[in-house]
């Protein structure tokens, strides 16, 4: 794992955008594994800037997102589809038909999950996967557990995650308790991973990335087995390293 520590969130965002832009420049039809949450917001802003400056062309790129809340459709302002549209897709020349986010509203979530894995497979896997990290070490919505799932599945959110994400909702009881998430399989098979973390509340989870332990109780520790991970941190998130 390659760790990069910056003084500010702005620098974290600019560097992460540079890494992602490099992948698109090398392969115009790259498959981008994208993430939501506050961590990558600044990176998306930087990517939009690069696009507006004529330095980045998304016309052939495809994207596949990690997760979506069960029960929220794309018009809900806390759905991850809405997040992706407003934070990136609406502002760059990406064909929305080439952007994929799991469907959290379909009647048969299991069947939807199975099709999502087929989709990832049919795209030829992921060229670069962007990740945030939960304060408990979750990636996507792969929560700490005795075992982790390889494939896309419906996850029950932990109390800690519900509390952490409540800041985006009117109240904690409005946070969905389940989500459809990519499993750890396609994440670990991604050719390259960029993990972004900022803020003191991530310091514990970030420290677990350097400890000599791999455990499903801290899902992000699995990333130690991946050959090309760049962890991009501000100094608060790097505080316990």
Q: Helices 80-87 and 41-52, interaxial angle, to 10°?
A: 40
Residue 38 Cβ, how far from ligand GLP at the closest point, in Å? Answer: 4
C-beta separation of 127 from 32 below 8 A: yes
Residue 36 Cβ, how far from ligand GLP at the closest point, in Å? Answer: 6
Q: Select from 1-9, 85-93, 132-140, 184-192 the region that touches ligand GLP (CB under 6 A).
A: 132-140
* Number of residues forming the site for ligand GLP (CB under 6 A): 14
Catalytic residue chosen out of the listed positions 51, 65, 68, 138 = 138
CA 3 from centre of chain: 18
Residues in the chain: 241
The residues that bridge with 33 in the sheet, in sequence order, are 64, 129
143 has catalytic annotation: yes
For β-strands 192-197 and 62-65, DSSP reports them as unpaired
Q: Is 134 in the site for ligand GLP (CB under 6 A)?
A: yes
Indicate the residue whose CB is closest to ligand GLP: 132
Closer residue to ligand GLP in complex, CB, 6/141: 141
Q: Is 42 in the site for ligand GLP (CB under 6 A)?
A: no
Residue 57 Cβ, how far from ligand GLP at the closest point, in Å? Answer: 26
* Selection from 230, 214, 211, 212 nearest residue 222 by Cα: 214
Residue 50 Cβ, how far from ligand GLP at the closest point, in Å? Answer: 21
In the sheet that holds 229-234, the strands lie side by side as 2-6, 229-234, 192-197, 128-131, 31-34, 62-65, 99-100
| Residue numbers 165-224 binding ligand GLP by CB under 6 A | 165
Instruction: Report the C-alpha gap between 231 and 155 in whole angstroms.
Output: 25
Q: Helices 41-52 and 9-26, interaxial angle, to 10°?
A: 50
Q: Is 161 in the site for ligand GLP (CB under 6 A)?
A: yes
201 has catalytic annotation: no
Q: Is 37 in the site for ligand GLP (CB under 6 A)?
A: yes
Q: Is 140 in the site for ligand GLP (CB under 6 A)?
A: yes
Enumerate the active-site residues.
Answer: 67, 136, 138, 143
Residues that bind ligand GLP (CB under 6 A): 35-39, 66-67, 132-134, 140-141, 161, 165
């Amino acid at each position: 794992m390659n760790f990069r520590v910056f003084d500010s969130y702005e620098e974290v965002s600019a560097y992460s955008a540079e890494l992602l832009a490099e992948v698109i420049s090398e392969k115009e039809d790259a498959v981008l594994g994208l993430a939501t949450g506050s961590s990558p917001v600044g990176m998306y802003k930087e990517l939009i800037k690069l696009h507006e400056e004529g330095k980045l062309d998304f016309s052939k790129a495809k994207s596949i997102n990690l997760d979506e809340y069960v029960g929220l459709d794309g018009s809900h302002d806390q759905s991850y589809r809405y997040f992706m549209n407003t934070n990136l897709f609406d502002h760059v020349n990406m064909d929305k038909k080439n952007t994929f986010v799991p469907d959290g509203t379909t009647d048969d979530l299991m069947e939807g999950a199975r099709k999502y894995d087929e989709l990832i497979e049919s795209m030829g896997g992921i060229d670069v996967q962007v990740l945030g990290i939960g304060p408990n070490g979750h990636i996507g919505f792969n929560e700490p557990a005795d075992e982790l799932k390889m494939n896309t599945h419906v996850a029950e959110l932990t109390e800690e995650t519900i509390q952490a994400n409540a800041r985006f909702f009117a109240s904690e009881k409005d946070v969905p308790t389940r989500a459809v998430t990519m499993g750890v399989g396609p994440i670990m098979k991604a050719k390259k991973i960029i993990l972004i973390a900022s803020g003191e509340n991530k310091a514990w989870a970030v420290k677990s990335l350097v400890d000599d332990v791999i455990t499903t109780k801290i899902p992000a520790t699995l990333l130690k087995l991946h050959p090309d991970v760049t962890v991009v941190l501000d100094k608060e998130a790097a505080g316990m390293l």
